[in-house]
Amino acid sequence: MTEDQAALRQIMRLRGYSLMTNVLEDYATDMELITLVGTTICLGLTQMKLIITAGAAMYDNMAIT
């Protein structure tokens, strides 16, 4: 397919989202599972924001020095 690591990570993310969609559709009435999946997604987004913020701060520091 490809050796590009960024492209492979994106493919795996899309596959993960597809699987989560299937699980949520299959268990639409299971509020405990929906809450667990929602919490997992929120934690992932929080981590992503922290990584982006840290990367921006590193870039800003590099530009100054």
Supply the DSSP string of 1-47, one letter for each residue.
----HHHHHHHHHHHHHHHHHHHHHHTTT-HHHHHHHHHHHHHHHHH
Parse the chain into domains and list their residue ranges: 5-64
Tens place of pLDDT per residue across the chain (65 aa): 678 888 888 888 788 878 878 888 888 898 888 888 778 777 777 777 777 777 777 777 776 55
| Global pTM value | 0.45
